[in-house]
């Protein structure tokens, strides 16, 4: 059953009771929470995912609850816990849904070492896949959000899960996180997209999440192998420009943006080397999303068959 | 009492064949909390049982294993660095616990999670050792004056050192129990019998009996039992490994008496065999009862240890687990220091330390962030 087929009340009740088992990308997340904003935003942004995998079995058992301390009444807070382990300090209650998203990133980044995990967005069109590794603030999420509203499939906004075996990326199409100015930009660029509530004063500034396109979620079981590695950079009013980039620097930069490159050791090095060898690497600067869409649609179409399930 | 699947599988790995998918889920959660997920993977591999791990949950084991493989590599590397730093000092260096298991290539190292590296040096050489380590990048991680004094006057180790570049933590011991503790195993005797390693001059590991006694002392006399079951698994694995050598059990008993460690050894043999099925011969088991406490105490310790040696996971707790862990925590402090030292120490730690930490935090908030500053000054210098 998809989340969408369930009434808001029933979802809320299940989340605060024994919890929901959500199929998010390759993972089953068991979420337990009695915080209304989480269940509402979840119903809005995760409506297309299945919420009834085998009961009692999950990869991550997550709870979001209000800590029961004296701040309960004055400045209510929220705690993220993974199976009883609380890895972060509590945040203000309004940030409960963003905390779920950040916490889930942490879970995947800290445990899923069957993949080489790179902090990167991944999108696909006509079987060709682009990977955007980039430090926060480079405009990666904005570009990714823009393109997936113009026919590209979202595989991932934050975490590229790369298989060391065959370099294919396992999709984990979750809501795209948008910060500060890019929220307004995206509202104008894609007025029909679904956005979560705007949350102010987080450690990343003002944030919101944009729902992943339904089709991307439906195709979350279809793996794909990257062909382009593109380092985006937003520059106000600059023309869209794609410039070839050194493979060595690309390698170094991706290693730096990886969550578990060090943990995988030689295997991580080898995977990354094959990936960079296999892909064309570019720097991409842009000032307007419309220009970016044009450039991406004219990227040299590959003759490789890279999509398979 | 609730189900502790980890101990069950450790005792009888073949039992995994009858686990339901839900039980696998619980096993993984309990094992992760106990830092034993990778260790379980190792046992399942050794017993050729990996085929019974359901596909859906298999990645948890493999991923945890990958982390420990990496840990072991970094420990090897770290030990090499320590060896190079201390070579010129010319004193014997004994690797302790995890680092010893890895470098000596023992089965106890497989799938083990490591927090830091522990070494022991003669007390008289501490100053030289600290200076040599300092020259090579290991600096103290405790800047508080009180902490420094606490370690240097009363403890059996220097305040933990941290390598400024690699951020790895090194504990330098000169004994296996604090100066103020109730038991006094002679560090000189431990050093004398230590076994040299092949490829590093003047680097040693404890003799087999001492390795067991150290592990037992750490778990049953000194530790805070945060990872009690993991430490018990260490003991089990050491005992199984060393008992393949003739005469080991007798030597172990004798050494325990000689080192004043008959009590921790009694606990070690009792709980490893009860909880993990460690094959301790009957006559050894009964001889070890020379270290047994009186009946009341033995009953109480059973109540405490049978709870605290379960995985620290919600599914393994009963209404007394919290109390048991708390009492063992108090006990570990009580065994470390006499009351007239302990009470002021605990008071300081509960009132002054949090106050100081808050002050430091406030100070840090008022200071400009260096990283931000550098970004402003030199925005284009990356690459």
Q: What is the mean pLDDT of the segment spanning B289-311?
A: 92
Residues of chain B positioned with their CB less than 8 A from the CB of A83: 29, 32-33, 313-314
Q: Do residues B316 and B325 touch, judged by C-beta distance below 8 A?
A: no
Average pLDDT of every residue of chain B: 88
Q: Do residues B151 and B126 touch, judged by C-beta distance below 8 A?
A: no
Cβ contacts from A onto B, under 8 A = 48
pLDDT of residue B143: 75
pLDDT of residue B148: 84
What is the least distance, in Å, from the CA of B82 to any CA of chain A? Answer: 21
Please, which residues 253-292 of chain A have a Cβ atom closer than 8 Å to chain B?
Answer: 262-265, 267
Strands (E), B213-370: none
The residue ranking higher by pLDDT, B65 or A303, is B65
**Residues whose CB is less than 8 angstroms from the CB of residue B22 and which lie 6 or more positions away in sequence, other chains included:** A55, A56, A57
pLDDT band of B31, cuts 50, 70, 90: very high
The Cα–Cα gap between B345 and B353 comes to: 10
- What does the DSSP 8-state code read for residue B113? -
Average pLDDT of every residue of chain A: 90
Q: Is the pLDDT of residue A302 over 70?
A: no
What is the least distance, in Å, from the CA of B66 to any CA of chain A? Answer: 7
The Cα–Cα gap between B291 and B353 comes to: 38
What are the tokens at A182? Answer: 């890019």
Residue among A56, A249, A263 whose CB faces B22 most closely = A56
CB contact under 8 A, A84 and B24: no
CB contact under 8 A, B314 and A84: yes
What is the ipTM metric for this complex? 0.89
pLDDT band of B360, cuts 50, 70, 90: confident
pLDDT above 90: percentage of residues in chain A: 74
Residues of chain A positioned with their CB less than 8 A from the CB of B22: 55-57
Residue among A83, A84, A263 whose CB faces B70 most closely = A263
Burial B16-42 (b: 16+ CB within 10 A, else e): beebeeebbbbbbbbbbbbbbbbbbbb
Residue A202 forms beta bridges with which residues?
A: A205
CB contact under 8 A, B21 and A265: no
pTM > 0.90: yes or no: no
pLDDT band of A86, cuts 50, 70, 90: very high
Q: Is the pLDDT of residue B367 over 80?
A: no
Residue B196 forms beta bridges with which residues?
A: B204
pLDDT in tens, A221-238: 999 999 999 999 988 888
CB contact under 8 A, A83 and B69: no
The structural domains of chain B, with segments of one domain joined by +, span 5-337, 338-377
CB contact under 8 A, B63 and A114: yes
pLDDT in tens, A259-274: 999 999 999 999 999 9
CB contact under 8 A, B63 and A113: yes
Q: Is the pLDDT of residue B30 over 70?
A: yes
Q: Is the pLDDT of residue B132 over 50?
A: yes
pLDDT above 70: percentage of residues in chain A: 94
Q: Is the pLDDT of residue B366 over 90?
A: no
Which residue from A minimizes the CA distance to B27?
Answer: A57
What is the least distance, in Å, from the CA of A267 to any CA of chain B? Answer: 10
Q: Is the pLDDT of residue B126 over 60?
A: yes
pLDDT of residue B11: 94
Q: Is the pLDDT of residue A308 over 60?
A: no
Q: What is the mean pLDDT of the segment spanning A109-117?
A: 96
Q: What is the mean pLDDT of the segment spanning B85-90?
A: 91
pLDDT band of B381, cuts 50, 70, 90: very low
pLDDT in tens, B223-235: 667 789 999 999 9
Q: What is the mean pLDDT of the segment spanning B141-147?
A: 80
Cα-Cα-Cα-Cα dihedral sign, residues A79, A81, A84, A89: negative
Q: Is the pLDDT of residue B109 over 80?
A: yes
Q: What is the mean pLDDT of the segment spanning A154-165?
A: 95
Residue among B21, B32, B33 whose CB faces A57 most closely = B21
pLDDT band of B147, cuts 50, 70, 90: confident
Q: Is the pLDDT of residue B125 over 80?
A: yes
A59 in B contact zone (CB under 8 Å): yes
What is the least distance, in Å, from the CA of A56 to any CA of chain B? Answer: 6
What are the tokens at A272? Answer: 């990354």
The residue ranking higher by pLDDT, A22 or B180, is A22
Residue B163 forms beta bridges with which residues?
A: B138
């Amino acid at each position: 059953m998809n989340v969408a087929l369930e009434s808001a009340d029933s979802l809320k009740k299940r989340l605060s009771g024994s919890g929901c088992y959500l199929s998010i990308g390759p993972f089953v997340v068991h979420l337990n929470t009695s915080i209304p904003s989480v269940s509402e935003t979840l119903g809005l942004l995760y409506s297309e995912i299945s919420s009834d995998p085998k009961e009692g079995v999950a990869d991550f058992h997550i709870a979001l609850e209000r800590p029961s301390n004296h701040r309960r009444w004055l400045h209510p807070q929220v705690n993220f816990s993974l199976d009883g382990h609380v890895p972060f300090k509590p945040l203000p209650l309004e940030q409960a849904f963003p905390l779920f998203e950040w916490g889930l990133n942490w879970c995947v980044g800290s445990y899923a070492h069957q993949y080489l995990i790179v902090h990167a967005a991944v999108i696909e069109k006509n079987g060709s896949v682009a990977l955007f590794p980039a430090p926060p603030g480079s405009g990666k999420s904005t570009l990714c959000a823009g393109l997936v509203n113009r026919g590209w499939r979202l595989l991932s906004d934050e975490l590229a899960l790369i298989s060391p075996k065959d370099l294919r990326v396992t999709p984990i199409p979750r809501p795209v996180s948008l910060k500060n100015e890019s929220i307004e930009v995206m509202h104008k660029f894609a007025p029909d997209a679904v956005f979560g509530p705007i949350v102010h004063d987080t450690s990343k500034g003002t944030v919101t999440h944009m729902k992943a396109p339904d089709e991307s979620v439906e195709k979350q079981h279809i793996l794909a192998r990257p062909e382009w590695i593109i380092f985006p950079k937003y520059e106000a009013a600059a023309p869209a420009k794609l410039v070839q980039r050194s493979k060595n620097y690309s390698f170094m930069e991706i290693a730096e943006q990886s969550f578990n490159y060090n943990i995988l050791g030689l295997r991580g090095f080898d995977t990354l080397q094959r990936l960079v060898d296999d892909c064309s690497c570019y720097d991409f600067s842009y000032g307007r999303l419309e220009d970016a869409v044009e450039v991406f649609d004219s990227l040299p179409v590959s003759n490789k068959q890279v999509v398979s399930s | 009492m609730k189900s502790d699947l980890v101990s069950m599988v450790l005792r009888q790995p073949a039992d995994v064949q009858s686990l339901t998918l839900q039980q696998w889920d619980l096993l993984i959660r309990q094992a992760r909390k106990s830092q034993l997920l990778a260790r379980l993977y190792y046992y399942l591999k050794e017993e050729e049982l990996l085929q019974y791990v359901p596909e859906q949950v298999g990645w948890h084991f493999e991923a945890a294993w990958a982390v420990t493989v990496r840990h072991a590599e970094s420990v090897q590397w770290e030990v090499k660095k320590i060896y190079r730093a201390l070579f010129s000092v010319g004193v014997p260096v004994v690797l302790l616990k995890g680092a010893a298991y890895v470098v000596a290539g023992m089965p106890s190292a497989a799938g083990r999670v490591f927090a830091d590296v522990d070494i022991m040096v003669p007390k008289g050489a501490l100053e030289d050792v600290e200076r040599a380590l300092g020259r090579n990048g290991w600096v103290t991680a405790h800047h508080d004056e009180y902490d420094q004094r606490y370690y240097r006057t009363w403890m059996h180790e220097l305040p933990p050192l941290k390598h400024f570049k690699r951020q790895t933590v090194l504990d330098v011991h000169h004994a296996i129990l604090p100066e103020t503790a109730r038991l006094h195993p002679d560090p000189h005797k431990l050093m004398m019998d230590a076994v040299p390693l092949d490829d590093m001059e003047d680097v040693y590991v404890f003799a087999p009996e001492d390795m067991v006694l150290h592990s037992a002392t750490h778990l049953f006399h000194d530790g805070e039992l945060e990872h009690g079951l993991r430490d018990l698994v260490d003991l089990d694995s050491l005992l199984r490994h060393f008992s393949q050598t003739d005469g080991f059990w007798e030597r172990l008993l004798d050494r325990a008496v000689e080192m004043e460690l008959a009590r921790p050894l009694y606990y070690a043999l009792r709980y490893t065999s009860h909880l993990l099925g460690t094959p301790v011969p009957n006559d050894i088991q009964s001889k070890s009862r020379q270290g047994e406490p009186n009946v009341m105490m033995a009953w109480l310790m059973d109540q405490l240890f049978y709870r605290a040696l379960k995985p620290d996971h919600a599914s393994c707790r009963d209404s007394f687990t919290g109390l048991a862990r708390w009492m063992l925590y108090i006990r570990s402090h009580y065994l470390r220091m006499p009351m007239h030292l302990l009470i002021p120490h605990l008071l300081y730690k509960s009132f002054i330390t949090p106050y100081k930490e808050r002050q430091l935090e406030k100070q840090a908030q008022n200071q400009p962030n260096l990283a931000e500053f550098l970004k402003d000054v030199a925005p284009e210098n990356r690459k």
